[in-house]
């Protein structure tokens, strides 16, 4: 089995969780947040993961994004097992193959829109001319072609989230992880951002895992599952998330 530091890009791959368990705390206060979770996500699939606050959705995203490691079980992207990788290898894998979209944008306030987009490419060693081309294309793809030199505080909430979306996609990741990406936006703006997220992920062939508590948002995905009491299962009818 390959390690995340193996050379060569991954064009497409299934994402698999096998018996993944994660807990926090110590002694009698230790809480098992994920309990032997099994999950398989097909290459290019758009999966919505529903759950109440505190259900473990963000913990699961951190594991899929190689930010954290499970207490037990395996997390595989293709043939690469992130659960056993060293921290440096997980960082390199995350930088090359994973894109993140957060509820609160997480843009760097001291960098312009163009520089926020260019930074992931710089970290991956992309040539300057290619960075300029891809930044321009990315801004155009989310309707921000005229905001290259604007700083985040000069953008509306919807514009900031579209910029964050472009940043998550600019290095053409294998896997996109979106944590409540419309949760900080009004309904109309959120719907536009969600449409762009699903469309662009489809165009790039990226796998998308979308965490939400909204059934309406989940309907944009190919498949929806629920996380409840540390386990993943079908979405039960009549439950208010």
CA distance 122 to 35: 38
Tokens describing residue 160 = 């900031």
Domain assignment present for 16: no
Domain assignment present for 130: yes
Residues spanned by the domain of 62: 44-67+86-233
Domain assignment present for 206: yes
Integer-rounded Cα radius of gyration of the chain: 18
Domain assignment present for 49: yes
pLDDT in tens, 100-159: 988 788 899 999 999 999 999 999 999 999 999 999 999 998 999 999 999 999 999 889
Counting residues of the chain whose pLDDT is more than 70, the rounded percentage is 93
Judged against a pLDDT cut of 70, whether residue 237 lies above it is answered with no
Domain assignment present for 124: yes
Confidence of residue 58 (pLDDT cuts 50, 70, 90): confident
Residues 6+ apart with CB under 8 A from 216: none
Tokens describing residue 109 = 């306030």
CA distance 241 to 233: 14
Give yes or no for a contact between 169 and 176, defined as CB atoms under 8 angstroms apart: yes
What's the total number of domains in the chain? 1
pLDDT in tens, 179-220: 888 877 788 888 888 888 888 889 888 999 999 888 888 888
Domain assignment present for 240: no
Domain assignment present for 6: no
18 against 10, higher pLDDT = 18
Domain containing 56 — which CATH number? 3.40.50.300
pLDDT of residue 6: 46
pTM: 0.87
pLDDT of residue 184: 76
Judged against a pLDDT cut of 60, whether residue 79 lies above it is answered with yes
Domain assignment present for 9: no
């Amino acid at each position: 089995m390959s390690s995340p530091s193996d050379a060569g890009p991954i064009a497409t791959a299934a994402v698999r969780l096998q018996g993944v368990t994660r807990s926090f705390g110590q002694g009698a206060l230790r809480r098992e947040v994920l309990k032997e979770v099994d999950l398989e996500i097909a290459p290019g699939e758009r999966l919505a993961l529903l759950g109440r606050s505190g259900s473990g959705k963000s913990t699961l995203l951190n594991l899929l994004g190689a930010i954290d490691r499970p207490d037990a079980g395996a997390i595989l992207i293709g043939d690469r097992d992130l659960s056993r990788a060293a921290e440096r290898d997980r960082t390199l894998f995350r930088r090359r193959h994973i894109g993140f979209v957060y509820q609160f944008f997480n843009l760097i306030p001291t960098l312009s829109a163009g520089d926020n987009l260019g930074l992931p490419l710089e970290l991956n060693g992309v040539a300057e001319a290619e960075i300029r081309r891809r930044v321009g294309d990315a801004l155009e793809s989310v309707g921000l072609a005229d905001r290259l030199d604007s700083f985040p505080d000069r953008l509306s909430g919807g514009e900031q989230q579209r910029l964050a979306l472009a940043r998550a996609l600019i290095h053409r990741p294998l896997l996109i992880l979106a944590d409540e990406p419309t949760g900080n936006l009004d309904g109309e703006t959120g719907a536009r951002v969600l449409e762009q997220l699903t469309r662009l992920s489809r165009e790039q062939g990226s796998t998308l895992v979308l965490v939400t508590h909204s059934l309406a948002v989940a309907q944009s995905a190919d498949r929806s599952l629920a996380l409840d009491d540390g386990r993943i299962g079908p979405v039960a009818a009549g439950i208010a998330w």
